Amino acid sequence: MNRNPHKKTLNPLFVILIIVLFFGCENTKEPRLLIISSKQSKDNLVNTEIAKFALSADFFLKKSANLTSVHEDTLKLYSSIFFNNIRLNDLSHFQINALERYVDSGGRVVIIEPTDTSYNQYKWSKFHKLLSGILPSAKQLRPDLMSDSFGKGQVVLAKLEPMELEVQKRLISKAIAQVVADKVTLVYGNLATSLVPPDHWFEIDTLAMSFDEPIEMEVLKNGDVLIIERKGNIKFFDSNKRSIKTIAELPVVSSQSNGISGIALDPDFENTGWIFFSYTPQANPGHHRISRFKIIEDSLAINSERILLEHSVTIKNGWHGINAIEFDSKGNLYFAIGDFTIQTGEVAGYAQIDERNSSNDSQATSSNPNNLLGKISRIHPEKDGTYTIPEGNLFQKKDSFARPEIYIMGCRNPYRFTLDSKTDLLYFGDVGPDAWKDGEKGPKGYDELNIAGSSGYYGWPYVIADNKPYSDFNYRSNTLGTFFDPDNLMNKSPNNTGKKKLMPAREAILWYPKGKSQDFPYLGTGGMNIMIGPKYYRDDFKPSNIRFPSYYNEKLFVYDWVRNWINVLELDENHKLVGIEPFLSTHEFNKIIDMKFGDDGTLYLLEYGSSGYKANADASLKRVRYAEGKPKPKSMEDPEAEDLDGTPIIEKENTEVWKLLTSHNCMSCHQVDKKIVGPSFKEVAQHYANVDSAETYLPKKIIDGGTGNWNGNIAMPANPLLTEDQAKDITRFILNLDY
């Protein structure tokens, strides 16, 4: 027993409190208190009053100014935890989970005068109502003192509003009285709050490296993997030999984002050997094709092609081009296509509704019912190589002003989607425009997660996110119009060849801008490209010690190709968002472009690699295995940045500049020595070689964005999160390149 040796006469109030609590508790943990305070408040009134109480009650007390104390092994040692003047939002998702489990087990927590201004409900799902002061009146002991409980424990929030010293002391005493007991039982067995598996309980195997723009994959039942590369290569990874080879080369048009973009195994692949591809064929330029082929052993029979569907696309606008394909449980094939619309400098990252040119008007594609672009369509492949239309698509089969294949309409760039293996719910991401700020034309750009349990319309280019409307801007007269009504939309564009009357637009369930999201946590800032991974059902996979744990059961994996994060989403029975938390947040990824669970319940990751539109030595196929109880390893230094051929492209002193280039999406539009969306860095260096003002002009251009400096009217996105010094460092690096 660890007792305070300094005995003092007990305060009568505390004597009564201790007698009441002592006889009402089981015998278990000795009274031990922990105060976690900010450094500037370590000697303030709160700490002094708690220390006085601990001394008079003969309770053990420990003080800490370090948030690392919020760890399950540490919290278990104490019967009550006090947070004094702490910024709680600085706690990681692991620490929040440890705190929730502590309360669930019977622990008591007092939060006094926290310094945060707000608490996100998806980050603080169990504490949110208390911290936000929106508890029912029965739990509000007084306006500045609230109490809530879940599991076996209790949490108290005290706000020391400007008040007299003695009033503050009485409030602190009441907060203590709410939670401090002579003995507390902490029971960690069978908690409702599960332990978040730490990152080091997952092992990441690198199965293969060095790909030329890998796009999508299919994992076979035996662990072999088929991978497509955008320029037409189809690769086969042999899991037994741990080797990879090219089994076919589809002749594709690979300009811009065109090429081969989708791969899907026939639902009866084990017997039929059929495999489906979505691509832009050289044999018929200007078209998108979905075809079926046959795999024989580990080879693709090119001459087995059966063309299911082919339709025209504007290849030169292929930045938002053809995307993923996937089967549902009923044998229906879904295929996603972007809006094939150019984002010009005049549009500047807002609604693409420039009716002067159909190439700049998403009303000609996304919200045109008679066009497959900007949609997710659904067909049912038949054995003879044709297809039929499933019941429940958005339009009738005999409607001459609408395509019957359409399932989801009103998308900008639905790049990656997934289907729920139990319910066939469709989860799809939609990549938004580039505006950083709200403007007179409407809201800033957002990437979205949408859920569809039935066919529907999602509003682009009239609304975005939770149906934030754009202005009906007239580019001919350069005048603002009224803002679109998401419940009453008409496509009056002269470029629309389908129905004019549109159905009400559905809202996204998650959305985030280039700046920090005010609505959702853990989503980062900067360039963005949302992608949707699988929803995990543990019973879909055979039992093993490497399949993902039950903690992730029925949770949806979402990732961002640019920001390099994976987040796991918890949804309720009505498919509403409940919580968000990072997954493998201590691991650095290289632009995950596809993610699927294998038959053994392990997670396969396909990484595109550091830079866009070029082969990457760090493009890789990886497998994530669960390894419960694995010891935490020593930290490792990050590897030196490499170029796309595997050799260092910059000197060591420029590695920080390289990190800036890759983390702000610069490499998605530029390369060092090759033009893609924008000019190569070497072309920029040559262009400004004799321009004296370049070192002052270019940093501003990098931060503000713009258009018109090179051939074409392609907008360069702004990078407002870069500081002036960072933009100058990037400028110096580019201008010093040898050309």
Q: What is the reported pLDDT for 26?
A: 37
Grouping H, G, I as helix, E, B as strand and the rest as coil, residue 615 is coil
Of residues 267 and 113, the one with the higher pLDDT is 267
- In tens, the pLDDT along 43-99 reads 688 989 999 988 988 899 999 988 999 999 999 999 999 999 999 999 999 999 999
Q: How many domains does the chain have?
A: 3
Whole-number Å distance between alpha carbons of 283 and 310: 12
- Assigned domain for 172 exists: yes
How many whole angstroms separate alpha carbon 121 and alpha carbon 562? Answer: 25
- Per-residue pLDDT tens over the stretch 229-239: 999 999 999 99
Query: Which range (130-144, 278-292, 415-429) has the least confidence?
Result: 130-144
Is 42 found in the same domain as 161?
Answer: yes
> How many CA atoms lie less than 13 Å away from 155 in the CB half-sphere?
22
pLDDT tens track for 466-488? 999 999 999 999 999 999 999 99
Q: Are 281 and 305 in contact, with CB atoms under 8 Å apart?
A: no
Q: Do 31 and 171 sit in the same domain of this protein?
A: yes
| pTM greater than 0.75 | yes
Q: Is 335 in contact with 262 (CB distance < 8 Å)?
A: yes
**Would residue 513 count as lying in a domain?**
no
What does the DSSP 8-state code read for residue 675? B
Looking at residue 662, its pLDDT comes to: 65
Residue 707 lies in a domain: yes
Q: What is the pLDDT of residue 363?
A: 98
Give the pLDDT confidence score for residue 11 in this predicted structure: 46
Residues 497-535: tens digit of each pLDDT: 999 999 999 999 999 999 999 999 999 999 999 999 999
Closest residue by Cα to residue 709 from 729, 692, 688: 688
**CATH of residue 171:** 3.40.50
**pLDDT tens digit sequence for 334-365:** 999 999 998 888 988 999 999 999 999 999 99
Judge whether 259 lies within some domain: no
**If you search the block for the tokens 């598996």, which residue do you land on?**
197
Phi, psi angle pair for 485, to nearest 5°: -100, 115
- Do 553 and 589 fall into the same domain? yes
Q: What are the CA-CA distances from residue 386 to residues 67, 277, 328 (Å)? A: 62, 14, 18
Residue range of the domain that includes 154: 12-179
Distance CA 678, CA 684 (A): 10
Q: The dihedral of CA 708, 710, 712, 717: what is its sign?
A: negative
**pLDDT of 10:** 42
Please give the Cα distance from 442 to 472 (Å, whole number).
Answer: 9
Q: Comparing C-alpha atoms, which of 394, 268, 376, 368 is closest to residue 324?
A: 376
**Are 205 and 122 members of one domain?**
no
Residues 598 and 711 in one domain: no
Cα distance between residue 387 and residue 381, in whole Å? 4
The answer as to whether 519 is a domain residue is: no
Judge if 173 and 202 occupy the same domain.
Answer: no
Contact 604, 623 (CB under 8 A): yes
Pair 153, 67 in one domain: yes
Average pLDDT over residues 688-709: 75
207 and 137 share one domain: no
Q: Which pairing describes strands 387-388 and 406-409: parallel, antiparallel, or unpaired?
A: unpaired
pLDDT for 665 equals: 61
First to last CA, the chain: 74
CA distances from 647 to 147, 616, 642 (A): 59, 10, 5
| Closest listed residue to residue 475, CA positions, set 357, 366, 340, 342 | 357
pLDDT tens digits, 647-673: 333 344 466 776 677 666 676 667 777
Both 39 and 160 in one domain: the answer is yes
Determine, yes or no, domain membership for 124: yes
Is residue 657 situated within a structural domain? yes
Answer yes or no: is pLDDT of 159 > 90.
Answer: no
Is there a single domain that holds both residue 26 and residue 69?
yes
Which residues does 360 contact at the CB level (< 8 Å), separation at least 6? 341, 342, 344, 347, 352, 354
Q: Which of these, 420, 446, 463, lies nearest to 569 by C-alpha position?
A: 420
Q: Which two tokens stand for residue 505?
A: 């637009």
Q: Which two tokens stand for residue 343?
A: 């984002």
193's CB contacts (< 8 A; 6+ apart) are: 97, 100, 101, 104, 126, 151
Domain finish residue from 619, 647, 675: 647
Number of Cβ atoms within 10 Å of the Cβ of 723: 12
Per the DSSP assignment, residues forming a β-bridge with 582 are 567
Judge if 99 and 204 occupy the same domain: no
CATH number of residue 713's parent domain: 1.10.760.10
The closest alpha carbon to 142, from 160, 127, 128, 154, belongs to 160
Q: Which of 314-323, 425-434, 619-628 is least confident?
A: 314-323
Residue 728: predicted pLDDT? 84
Mean pLDDT score of the chain, rounded to an integer?
A: 88
d(CA 552, CA 468): 32
Using pLDDT thresholds of 50, 70 and 90, give the confidence band for residue 677: low
Q: What stretches of 136-204 show up as alpha helix (H) in DSSP?
A: 165-179
Q: Do 598 and 694 have their domain in common?
A: no
| Closest C-alpha to 339, from 369, 359, 311 | 359
Decide if pLDDT at 20 tops 80: no
Q: Which strand (E) or helix (H) includes residue 619?
A: strand 616-626
In a domain, 77, yes or no: yes
